[in-house]
Each structure stands twice: as C-alpha cells, then as structure tokens.
Amino acid sequence: MAPVSLDELELLRKTELFAPLSPDALEEILGAARRLEFGRGLYIFHQGDRAVSFYVLVRGRVRLVQVTPDGNQVLMRFIMPGEPFAAVAVFGKACYPVSAEVVDDAVVLCWHGACFADLMERYPELALRAMHVLAGRVQEFQDRLREMATERVERRLAHTLLRLARQAGRRVHRGILIDLALSRQDLAEMSGTTLYTVSRVLRKWEEEGLVRVGRRWVVIRDPHGLVSVAEDLPPRPGSPPP
C-alpha cells in the first residue's frame, strides 16, 4: 500500500465522491491509489484506448476532448482539482470515449478499474456517490445536446460560459474570471458553433458590458445579464456600462 498524503486525504474528504466516507475508509482508498505526474500537453489516455484506470485530479487542469466520426474535435469538459474522471473503467470492459489532455502540469490519483470496483463493494456509500456524480455528468451532456438542438447560438454560448463559471470561475474585482487557457475555438466547440460566430457574439457582449475577453480568459462582468441571455429573459436594467 502506498504511503498516505495528508493533503490528498483532505482533498478526497472535500470532494463530492468521497465526502460521506469515514477517515479509515478514505485512508484505505487513498492507499490503494497510484500517484502519477503529467506535463502540460501530454495525454493521460487517448480516445479509443482500453479503459483500465479511474482517476481523480489532485493538481493542475485537464480537458476532455472527443474526435467525432467526421474528424472534428469537440471539447467536452474541463477537469479541476478534486474531480474524478474516466469512471467508465470501473463499470466493465469498455474504451475511453474521450482523450484526457493536460492543460497545466498535473498530478492524478489513479486506481485500476477492478480495484475501485472492489472498493465500491466494500463501501456501498461510495458506489451511491459514484452513481450520483455520473448522473450529474449525464445531465450536463443532455443539457448541452438539448441546447444545441433547440437554442440560438447566443443562448448556447451564454450557457457554456455560465457552466464554466460554476465549475472553475473565481470572483475578481469586476466580475467572475474564467481562467482556463480558453481559446475562442474551445468556446465554439463547447457551444456547437463556429469560431467566427463566437468572436462576433463576444465582441457584441463586450460592447454591452456583459463580458471582458482576453487571449485565453474571460471575465463575466454582468452574471445576471448573462443569465438573462441564457434564459431568453428581458434585459435587466442597470447592467454595468461597457
């Protein structure tokens, strides 16, 4: 069994997946994990590889990307510290449906899928939480599919930014900063539109004071205003000036 890091034990304790477990259970689960390090730009696994390991990100940032049958790359999700990913490895023989690309130098905890499945048998509350986390991910992707099928592009892009803000945003002086090394092409992939359209909409929103956009970051200056766009509500009076 690997030595247990107190920092990693605290990280697991604060995550949705492991929160209900006792300290002894968390120590056993952490002791069964391997710690792996990956440099920026490397891949933890590739789409189509046999799914053998389940991961929790300890440090850094990872993005999940998928190549469609027609060869287009789609950014599916960013993974932040404390988040699990690649749960498909736990639930039987399968291949990874996405690739996991390291955005910032990353440290991950890694369990063999069969090992983690055994741990869920020993700790049924872990299995229940795992199903809850998976259900949340499925709901997120269903929402994205519905948006792409039914909503105009401004609403889709607003929903994308709000999801990213909930996941990884932090408050700054003039709003909520999304600092994920995001390119406009990334936003286009996540909202199902084109680079040109994303650039046009963001430029319009900057003029209206909704957002501020840098080369690899976005500040949501008026979160309520962006919610109004996402939900197709009337503009809120008193939005900040551009």
Q: What are the pLDDT digits (tens) for 36-88?
A: 999 999 999 999 999 999 999 999 999 999 988 888 788 888 999 999 999 88
Specify the pLDDT at position 235: 63
**Considering the entire predicted model, what is its pTM?**
0.81
Average pLDDT estimate for 153-172 = 92
- The Cα–Cα gap between 55 and 115 comes to 12
pLDDT reading at 197 higher than 80 = yes
Specify the pLDDT at position 19: 87
- Provide CB contacts within 8 A for 155, sequence distance 6+: 147, 229, 230, 231, 232
pLDDT reading at 178 higher than 80 = yes
pLDDT tier, 134 (very low <50, low <70, confident <90, very high otherwise): confident
CB 81 within 8 A of CB 27: no
CB 69 within 8 A of CB 2: no
Residues in the chain: 242
pLDDT reading at 99 higher than 60 = yes
Specify the pLDDT at position 238: 53
CB 70 within 8 A of CB 60: no
Question: What's the mean pLDDT when you consider all of the chain?
Answer: 88
Average pLDDT estimate for 125-139 = 87
pLDDT tier, 237 (very low <50, low <70, confident <90, very high otherwise): low
What is the strand order of the sheet 211-213 is part of? 170-172, 175-178, 218-220, 211-213
Average pLDDT estimate for 134-145 = 83
Average pLDDT estimate for 193-217 = 93
Average pLDDT estimate for 188-211 = 92
pLDDT reading at 155 higher than 70 = yes
Average pLDDT estimate for 91-98 = 85
pLDDT tier, 183 (very low <50, low <70, confident <90, very high otherwise): confident
Q: What angle do CA 195, 199, 201 make, to 5 degrees?
A: 115
pLDDT reading at 236 higher than 90 = no
Q: End-to-end CA distance of the chain, in Å?
A: 57
- The Cα–Cα gap between 76 and 167 comes to 13
